[in-house]
């Protein structure tokens, strides 16, 4: 998979033909969703995903660009570029991509290149609405460290019992595909909770999940299944926070200000 300006054009061309779909692609690097790297690999569907409904933390504009850029109020780092002019939209998205692939800030753990290769890439995804094309550019990094050998901006170890696999385009938009093993494992947790039992030693990896879900269960949610479901939602949100390259959204604003955009 290769992502450049032509990718943004292809995505907008698709929603011109199928305006009721979203379409996007994974970042073209392993560990951050890029499972098919040798050719174009797009993913789409007719669902409205949670990220599509996310509001804007800040709204920015730039002279000469007939549109806006929104820093999304979302756990991951996402810039939504909105315009009815597909050429102008593709140009801005390509500026964002080019800036990000070379962006470095070691204090934040962002290292664009090292002996293992390139680490910064974007996952774009677009929907067509009454405002025009809404292209969400998700900033991703697959860099690793001694502390986080599976990825600095990946699900952190305390959440691996729920999701250790790559956090790809669909998860980044808020729809998590979880391991099938969890169906039985989480049902067992529900049983322990309902019977007031302690977590057995063989389920020790679930300590965090169980303790937090049990607090929800004892705090007023009297249905164990609902308590587990709420806990899963919380963990998935925290995993997306792990993937955020800018934990402070004001840094994302600064990133766009460096491209000439200003808060409006």
> Tell me, what's the pLDDT at 74?
98
Total residues found in the chain within this entry: 264
Nearest to 160 by CA among 192, 216, 210, 208: 208
The mean predicted confidence, pLDDT, of the chain is 96
> Tell me, what's the pLDDT at 30?
87
C-alpha to C-alpha distances, 168 to 120, 239, 240, nearest whole angstrom: 14, 12, 11
Nearest to 244 by CA among 118, 178, 156: 156
Grade residue 31 by pLDDT with cuts at 50, 70 and 90: confident
Q: What is the CA radius of gyration of the chain?
A: 20
149 neighbors 24 (Cβ within 8 angstroms) = no
Nearest to 171 by CA among 155, 185, 192: 155
Sorted by sequence, the CB contacts under 8 Å of residue 78 that are 6+ apart come out as: 51, 54, 71, 72, 136, 137, 138, 139, 172
> Tell me, what's the pLDDT at 40?
83
Q: Is residue 223 over pLDDT 80?
A: yes
- Across 150-156, average pLDDT: 97
Name the pTM for this structure.
0.95
- Across 143-148, average pLDDT: 96
- Across 144-155, average pLDDT: 96
Q: Is residue 90 over pLDDT 90?
A: yes
- Across 6-26, average pLDDT: 97
């Amino acid at each position: 998979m290769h992502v450049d300006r032509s990718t943004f054009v292809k995505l907008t061309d698709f929603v011109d033909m199928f305006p009721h779909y979203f379409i996007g692609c994974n970042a073209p690097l392993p560990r951050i969703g890029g499972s098919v790297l040798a050719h174009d690999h797009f993913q789409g569907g007719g669902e409205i995903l949670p990220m599509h409904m996310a509001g804007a933390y800040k709204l920015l504009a730039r002279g000469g660009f007939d549109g806006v850029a929104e820093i999304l109020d979302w756990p991951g780092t996402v810039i939504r570029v909105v315009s009815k002019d597909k050429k102008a939209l593709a140009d801005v998205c390509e500026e964002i991509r080019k800036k990000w692939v070379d962006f470095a800030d070691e204090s934040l753990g962002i290292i664009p290149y090292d002996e293992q290769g390139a680490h910064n890439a974007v996952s774009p995804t677009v929907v067509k609405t009454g405002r025009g094309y809404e292209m969400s550019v998700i900033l991703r990094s697959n860099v690793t460290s001694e502390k986080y050998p599976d990825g600095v901006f990946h699900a952190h170890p305390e959440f691996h019992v729920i999701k250790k696999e790559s956090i790809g385009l669909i998860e980044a938009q808020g729809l998590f595909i979880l391991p099938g093993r969890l169906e039985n494992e989480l049902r067992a947790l529900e049983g322990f909770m309902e019977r007031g039992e302690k977590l057995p030693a063989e389920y020790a990896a679930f300590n965090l999940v169980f303790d937090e879900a049990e607090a929800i269960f004892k705090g007023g949610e009297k249905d164990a299944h609902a308590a587990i479901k709420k806990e899963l939602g919380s963990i998935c949100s925290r995993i997306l926070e792990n993937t955020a390259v800018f934990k402070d959204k004001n840094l994302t604003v600064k990133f766009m200000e460096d491209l000439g955009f200003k808060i409006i």
